[in-house]
Amino acid sequence: MSAEAIFSDWSHEQTALFGHHPVMIEHDLHRRELFSDDALADLIECLPRHHYHVNAMSEAGGNGRMWREGQFDGLSGHEVLSAVKNGRIWVSLQRLHEVDARYADVLDGIYAGIETRVRGMKTYKRDIGLLISSPRAQVFYHCDIPGQMLWQLRGRKRVYVYPNRPPFLCPQEMETIVLGEADEEHMPYESWFDNHAVVFDLEPGQMAHWPLNAPHRVENHDCMNVSFTTSHYTDDLRASYAVHYANGILRRWTGAEHLSAQTSGAGLYAKMAFAAFVKYSGLHKHNQRAFRIDFQVDPGSDTGWRDIPAFDLGK
Ligand SMILES: [Fe+2]
């Protein structure tokens, strides 16, 4: 895939901001047949169970913070899309480059295009996942561990991006997430944080990227949305991960309060070695998450789902 064809209008300003400040960039992937409804329906029907999540959540602007896990067993791809269009659910199709070479090609084309524009950027451990979500669906305030981009294909959504520093993101919270002690979706959030957010209303053909670990939340406008995310690591991102991991362990083992989060110098190599030793020696047990499945996607329901007896799904 030609990287030139993906990014038709990338400016010097966007290159300068990339990775340092929230930035929005135009792309043309929303026109690809690979992301048509028929292609999405085919993908839904052939995807192994451990490659998807489907969630029900409280609607944007509503009270409370309900988030449930479900399944779409036995439905055709178009029935699932119908349930999304008319209900209130969020379908996440994950690690698509592992199951279909066409998505791996898109992923390679994207990063080839970025790496030719952002000098010195070299990515690895790349990932691509599709998000198909209902009108007014939302994703709560959270942060992600790797570098992230959000690509809009259909519909419109509002994306709030917050600074990746206190009080929006504290080092202790990041350490808890990296150590697997809490999931990324349960970070403390105050409505006044919005006064300090960069806000994008993403349209088809636009992509948003933000600095590493920057907290964000998403609200769909009143229309079905199709988007995808890409994630990646670089040497700098891997160093940041190791420092958070090592600091989290040191804080737990020694009670230390003031720990450097610097990702350069001799201290970095000591922390990277320490983090690798702890992680691979089994001295710190990463919580294995089980997902409690308690609804079935149902295109005949107003919400797009119905309750079923709950069971745990290990992933
Ligand atoms: Fe995210």
Average pLDDT value for residue range 256-272: 69
% of the chain exceeding 70 in pLDDT: 84
Is the confidence at residue 4, as pLDDT, over 60? no
Between 57 and 146, the more confident residue is 146
Domains of the chain as residue ranges with CATH: 3-233+289-314 (2.60.120.650), 239-281 (no CATH)
pLDDT reported for residue 236: 85
Q: If you measure from the C-alpha of residue 153 to the centroid of ligand 1, how many angstroms do you get, rounded to a whole number? A: 17
State pLDDT tens for residues 148-189.
999 999 999 999 999 999 999 988 887 787 777 766 566 889
pLDDT reported for residue 184: 54
pLDDT reported for residue 63: 54
Q: If you measure from the C-alpha of residue 35 to the centroid of ligand 1, how many angstroms do you get, rounded to a whole number? A: 20
Is the confidence at residue 263, as pLDDT, over 80? no
pLDDT reported for residue 67: 80
Cα–Cα distance between 56 and 67 in angstroms, integer?
Answer: 6
Instruction: Give the residue among 25, 4, 3, 5 at the shortest CA–CA distance from 16.
Output: 25
Q: If you measure from the C-alpha of residue 218 to the centroid of ligand 1, how many angstroms do you get, rounded to a whole number? A: 9
Q: If you measure from the C-alpha of residue 145 to the centroid of ligand 1, how many angstroms do you get, rounded to a whole number? A: 9
Task: List, in order, residues 6 or more apart from 148 with CB less than 8 Å away.
Answer: 209, 210, 229, 230, 231
Q: If you measure from the C-alpha of residue 283 to the centroid of ligand 1, how many angstroms do you get, rounded to a whole number? A: 29
Q: If you measure from the C-alpha of residue 137 to the centroid of ligand 1, how many angstroms do you get, rounded to a whole number? A: 14
Q: If you measure from the C-alpha of residue 31 to the centroid of ligand 1, how many angstroms do you get, rounded to a whole number? A: 24
State the DSSP string of 26-39.
Answer: E--GGG-GGGSHHH
Write down the residue that tokens 């150590």 correspond to.
Answer: 179
Is the confidence at residue 21, as pLDDT, over 90? yes
Cα–Cα distance between 150 and 205 in angstroms, integer?
Answer: 11
Q: If you measure from the C-alpha of residue 166 to the centroid of ligand 1, how many angstroms do you get, rounded to a whole number? A: 18
Under the banding of pLDDT at 50, 70 and 90, the label for residue 64 is: low
pLDDT reported for residue 175: 75
Q: If you measure from the C-alpha of residue 142 to the centroid of ligand 1, how many angstroms do you get, rounded to a whole number? A: 6
Q: If you measure from the C-alpha of residue 140 to the centroid of ligand 1, how many angstroms do you get, rounded to a whole number? A: 9
pLDDT reported for residue 283: 62
Q: If you measure from the C-alpha of residue 215 to the centroid of ligand 1, how many angstroms do you get, rounded to a whole number? A: 8
Supply the Cα-derived Rg of the chain in whole angstroms: 20
pLDDT reported for residue 72: 94
Average pLDDT value for residue range 281-286: 66
pLDDT reported for residue 266: 64
% of the chain exceeding 90 in pLDDT: 67
Q: If you measure from the C-alpha of residue 138 to the centroid of ligand 1, how many angstroms do you get, rounded to a whole number? A: 11
Q: If you measure from the C-alpha of residue 216 to the centroid of ligand 1, how many angstroms do you get, rounded to a whole number? A: 6
Token digits for 273?
Answer: 């070695």
State pLDDT tens for residues 186-220.
688 999 999 999 999 999 999 999 999 999 999 99
Q: If you measure from the C-alpha of residue 186 to the centroid of ligand 1, how many angstroms do you get, rounded to a whole number? A: 12
Between 43 and 246, the more confident residue is 43
